Structure 1
Amino acid sequence: MFIAQHAHVLSEVQTVSAPLVAKLSELERREDALQEQVELSEIHAAVKLGSLGEKLDVYVLPKETDFERLIASWELLSENLKKQGYLAKMSDISFGDPVDMIESGVRASPMRVNFAVHEKGMEYITKFIRLAGLLTVGDAITDEQLGKLMHSTEEENPAGIVALEQFLSLDLIRYARDVRAFESKLKRSFTSNAFANTLLEVTHESLLSDARDLLEGDYGRYMQEVNLWPIQFVTLKSAKMSDGGAEGWHVLEIEILVWERT
């Protein structure tokens, strides 16, 4: 993949649980998701996709990064984590010069920020990065998970494909802030428990679970109110953790790549 050369393995990881390291490592392998959003942006350049397409072009993969908006999204996350007692401090955010990848139609600017953070706060930071660049419910599930939903639909009620497509095209933050209503509406197109069980499996094993955890409360509401959703697409370049001086606390230093179209 065209950004693989920019991904670095986690280095100097100290006193942190293996599951959390694994989650951070996953963030270094988002090339497929980036490629999909680049392709969607190219499609939108040829045909008008409406409001979601405009959000993709303006916010997810813009021609020029709105650094004030990007910083504000991280500051809002910081404030939310401080209120919950999971963050002691976030450093100032710094940016490096962008690197062009002309053949791919994208470029990336390095962004660096440090945190004095509890392990629980690190989980939310991880979720924030994983959700960056996603627009719809469909963006938050894998091809395999989509296949399960499609197969279950075909088995139980092929006509339910319309309801499924509507569900998958939902703005992710709308879904996360009213999960029960949107899932109930979808399940009304099916009569047995088979599809409901498949939906439950997919929503709990996919990034939809991260979206619910991060966005369903006041934080998600405020993200919408101040127009900080969606988040610009980023990938993790490197992460370094050290002991924070108290049980469960760490100093987390991350460098991420902020992507935009050329």
Structure 2
Amino acid sequence: MTSSSSPSTGARLAAEFAGTFILVFGVIGTALFAAGFNGGDGNLNVGFLGVALALGLTVVVGAYALGPVSGGHFNPAVTLGLAVARRFGWGDVLGYLVAQFLGGIAASALLFVILSGGENPDLTAQFTGASTGYGVLSPGGFSLLSVILIEVITTAIFVYVILGVTSSRAAAGFAPLAIGFTLTLLALIAIPVSNASFNPARSLATAVFGGPEALGQVWVTLLAPVIGAIIAGATFSLLFERTVALSADAERVSANA
């Protein structure tokens, strides 16, 4: 016998904690353990492509498993963007943000413990390398302006996609796949520039273990994704839903002619 009742607030917050944990554990674990791995006689690391795929896969897994409970945000920027777009209630925003940040930090804390059993004793340096930022924290040495632009633009695209694939007109059941593929694509673009955040919870999760340099720059990838998400949330209806409404009006006029 199944129940049609909605998940409780506690269940939704637990799902956001768990989903963000999975996301950070998957993508940062890949970055720490597999992206630069060199074993045996050959270089066996997965590189940027592997990290980008890990990000997309973790979101697909989390969204299918936990999306029916909480909506599958797993990202403070997404929560804020959906609230601005009136797809999510402002009264639930704070609880979601807290759950997401705690889930990300919990994942990084466990990765830190696992990493301590390896051969490299400088754990802070490894988390610094996985942190987001500009200059020395940018894999390609990009500037602050470049990092702000890439994070704002890519997060806006990401939230546009989420709003589109979760609308009433979208094909049912495919949203997690579209969202995961989008993140993989955006990560391939952004990793060399900012180390690819799009997610303040992911940024803070690595920065808290990355030392003063990572903490000093974390504001950039806390703020820029939020700006991008707000832009998308505020403009999606104007740019896309109004066009659909005008098209529907035109079809009615043609039918009555």
Larger strand fraction of residues: 1
Larger helix fraction of residues: 2
Q: Which has the higher contact order (CA 8 A, sep 6+)?
A: 1
